[in-house]
Amino acid sequence: MNTSERFCHAYSQYRNRFFEQPENIQHLSWLKQLQDNAFESFSTQGLPGPRDENWKYTQLSQIEQLDLQPSDQNSVSSHGIRPENIPLCSGSHRLVFMDGKFTPELSNHADLPDGLILCSIAQGLNRHPHLLSAALGAVAEYNKHPFAALNTMFLADGALLQVMQGCKVQMPIHCLFYTTEADRPVMYSPRLLLLAEDNAEVTVIEHYQGNSRSLLHEQHQNSGLNLTNALTEVTLGRDTTLHHYKLQCESGNTCHIAGIHVEQQQSSQFYSHNISLGACLARNDLCIKLADTGAECHLYGAYCIGDRQHVDFHTQIDHLRPNCQSSELYKGVIQDRAHAVFNGMVVVHPDAQYSDAQLINKNLLLSAKAEVDTKPELQIYADDVKCSHGATVGQLDPAAMFYLQSRGISHEAAQTLLITAFINDILQPVEPAPIRQLLLPSIQAQLNRLIHKIQNREEQGS
């Protein structure tokens, strides 16, 4: 039995448990149909392999070797973890999920402003079934993305957010998915559904955190390899603005597969800040559809990896209508034998005249064995556009190092300054202050780990 067949077998067991109660069969018949359709799609597609062009640099052997089982939603608790012991964004509405299950005692979503719906998907199945039945799967095309189909098959919990017309949400929405070390291979399938109607404004933090101290690929004794298979669907109405921050700090015992699918209407604005630090294997797919005139999306990303970590960013922005604008800036710091992959594609469709698209990927290699595969792409089918793309791969500049040291700065401090400055372009747009206070310590701590490895290597070489 191969991995795809094992997932299908696990789905049969999961489906029987979930829908064995008569009230679920009647009340959630639409969900059963959605999951069965996703199951058929996944059965047809299977897991992507090396012959798939979009996956040829990212092998799934770590996942294929394991007999992953969906998390047992009924056996999860907060494990005695107190709010002060987990990273939280101050002054935010908050949903916390422990090992895939919503944890009310650690959450804070009681005093919500008018025009805002925020709850777990498990709660939404009872409170807002018509909203979920209409929106789940409407943006993410699981017939094209096998991991989106897999997430839909095992959909159990996640975050539901609806911002109604004209609502300006002042406080950030913090969705924290916290995983502990398991003694067996476990698969989590968090789902985020973000619906913002016309003239709305909201800021959302999608945060994945492990309880291990190590973000690098270091297997811990007596713990299994987890799979986090996350899927986020976003719909933006006219003149709506969404600031979306994603921070991935899972432990080295985790494989993280994620899809973010966005559909934008007229004059909407989507700002994405995607930071990948942890997990032994991380894959991020971002699919943006600029579906009406004047829509804008601005994507910023940073990945800082070492040891034998592997991170893969695949982005696709479809300009479907005239006068749309997109920009992408992704930067990576790669140490040891780590491997980074970046594939950014912008498609300007025939009806998308006067499009403006900019795409840049820059990488900094901190060791001779670090590796990166980068491929920015433009597909232009309109004749009146302004588009550009580029990519760079390099090492620390010896001339810059010499200049800093000639000004009395130590060798170690000069390395820290240059590497931090390289990433800083991604961090400058991050605001307000509470979000910076959440993101920056994790990024700086990971950079310090990678810089410390340079210094150790230089000391051993001398």
Backbone phi, psi, residue 4, to 5°: -60, -40
pTM, rounded to two decimals: 0.94
Residue 462 has pLDDT above 60, yes or no: no
Residue 7 has pLDDT above 90, yes or no: no
In this prediction, what percent of the chain has a pLDDT beyond 90?
74
Domain map (residue ranges) of the chain: 47-137+152-396
Q: What is the pLDDT of residue 222?
A: 41
* β strands within 265-350, DSSP E: 269-276, 281-290, 296-305, 310-319, 325-334, 339-348
pLDDT band for position 86 (cuts 50, 70, 90): confident
Looking at 48-62, 256-270, 286-300, which range is the least confident one?
48-62
Residue 100 has pLDDT above 80, yes or no: yes
The arithmetic mean of pLDDT across residues 136-143, rounded, is 94
- 219 vs 317, residue with greater confidence: 317
Q: Is 239 exposed, middle or buried (0-12, 13-18, 19+ CB in 10 A)?
A: middle
Q: 294-333: string of b/e by CB count within 10 Å (b at 16+)? A: bbbbbbbbbbbbbbebbbbbbbbbbbbbbbbbbbbbbbbb
Q: What is the pLDDT of residue 28?
A: 82
pLDDT band for position 20 (cuts 50, 70, 90): low
Name the DSSP letter for residue 223: -
Tokens representing 168 are 């300006």
The arithmetic mean of pLDDT across residues 90-109, rounded, is 91
**CA 437 to CA 244: how far, in whole Å?**
16
**Closest alpha carbon to 427 in 282, 274, 206:** 274
363 and 372 Cβ atoms separated by less than 8 Å: yes
205 and 245 Cβ atoms separated by less than 8 Å: yes
434 and 421 Cβ atoms separated by less than 8 Å: no
205 and 249 Cβ atoms separated by less than 8 Å: no
Backbone phi, psi, residue 120, to 5°: -75, 155
**Closest alpha carbon to 175 in 115, 114, 302, 260:** 260
Residue with tokens 């300006």: 168
By residue count, the chain amounts to 462
Sign of CA dihedral 246, 445, 344, 340: negative
Q: Which residues pair with residue 299 across a beta bridge? A: 272, 328
Backbone phi, psi, residue 340, to 5°: -115, 145
- pLDDT tens column, 235-266: 999 999 999 999 999 999 899 999 999 999 99
Say which residues have a Cβ less than 8 Å from residue 293's Cβ, sequence separation at least 6.
Answer: 266, 267, 321, 322, 323, 324
| Residue 60, amino acid | L
347 and 357 Cβ atoms separated by less than 8 Å: no
**Closest alpha carbon to 202 in 105, 291, 327, 118:** 118
Residue 217 has pLDDT above 80, yes or no: no
CA distance to 181, 209, 437, per residue, from 85 (Å) = 16, 12, 15
- pLDDT tens column, 151-196: 999 998 999 999 999 999 999 999 999 998 777 788 999 999 999 9
Residue 219 has pLDDT above 60, yes or no: no
First to last CA, the chain: 52
Q: What is the pLDDT of residue 221?
A: 45
Beta-carbon-side half-sphere exposure of residue 189 (alpha carbons within 13 Å): 23
CA torsion 107→112→115→116, rounded to 10°?
Answer: -10
Q: Is 383 exposed, middle or buried (0-12, 13-18, 19+ CB in 10 A)?
A: exposed
User: Pairing mode, if any, of strands 226-236 and 116-120?
Assistant: unpaired
**CA 147 to CA 255: how far, in whole Å?**
13
pLDDT band for position 392 (cuts 50, 70, 90): very high
Mean pLDDT of the chain, nearest integer: 90
CA torsion 87→89→94→98, rounded to 10°?
Answer: -10
Residue 272 has pLDDT above 90, yes or no: yes
**Closest alpha carbon to 297 in 314, 319, 275:** 319
Residue 214 has pLDDT above 70, yes or no: no
Question: Residue 37: helix, strand or coil by DSSP?
Answer: helix
